[in-house]
Amino acid sequence: MSKPVEKQEWIQVAEAFAASGLTQKEFSAQRGLRLSTLQSWVYRRRRQRPRKTQEVRLLPVEVSTIAPPSPALLEVVLASGARLRFPSGADIDYVARLITALGR
């Protein structure tokens, strides 16, 4: 196959690859293309396509006026996944210092 030279031709090649069901390596070998060039144009084609945005659904919320059965807690989840629970009214400065120290 002669090698495409125009941008539109390369986009068509990238689309043909997407429809082929082949791996990039197989497709480029069949077409006599450099694998890195095909990879570059496949990447460019993917970036040009507009991303699908999902519709946001708002659900009704009902607020209960009943007090929770247990005392209110402040729960902090660290990036590591650890959970720290503090009683209601805990010293916020202490909590902040503790989280900072644990994050180091």
pLDDT digits (tens, 9 = 90+) for 32-55: 999 998 898 888 888 877 666 678
Question: Does some domain include residue 81?
Answer: yes
Q: What is the pLDDT of residue 68?
A: 60
Q: How many separate domains does the chain show?
A: 2
Higher pLDDT, 52 or 92: 92
Containing 38, the helix (H) or strand (E) segment is: helix 35-48
Question: Does some domain include residue 78?
Answer: yes
pLDDT band at 1, cuts 50/70/90? low
Last residue of a domain, which of 33, 48, 63?
A: 48
Identity of the residue numbered 8: Q
- Number of other CB atoms surrounding residue 42 within 10 Å: 19
Residue 4 has pLDDT above 80, yes or no: no
- Euclidean distance between CA atoms 96 and 48, whole angstroms: 44
Question: Does some domain include residue 60?
Answer: no
Question: Does some domain include residue 68?
Answer: no
Q: How much of the chain exceeds pLDDT 90, in percent?
A: 12
Question: Does some domain include residue 67?
Answer: no
- Euclidean distance between CA atoms 98 and 74, whole angstroms: 14
Q: What is the DSSP letter of 34?
A: -
User: E strands of 8-101, at which residues?
Assistant: 73-77, 83-87
Question: Does some domain include residue 22?
Answer: yes
Question: Does some domain include residue 1?
Answer: no
Q: What is the pLDDT of residue 32?
A: 92
- Euclidean distance between CA atoms 68 and 73, whole angstroms: 10
pLDDT band at 26, cuts 50/70/90? very high
Do residue 44 and residue 77 come from a single domain? no
89: domain range?
73-103
Residue 3 has pLDDT above 70, yes or no: no
Question: Does some domain include residue 17?
Answer: yes
- Euclidean distance between CA atoms 21 and 26, whole angstroms: 10
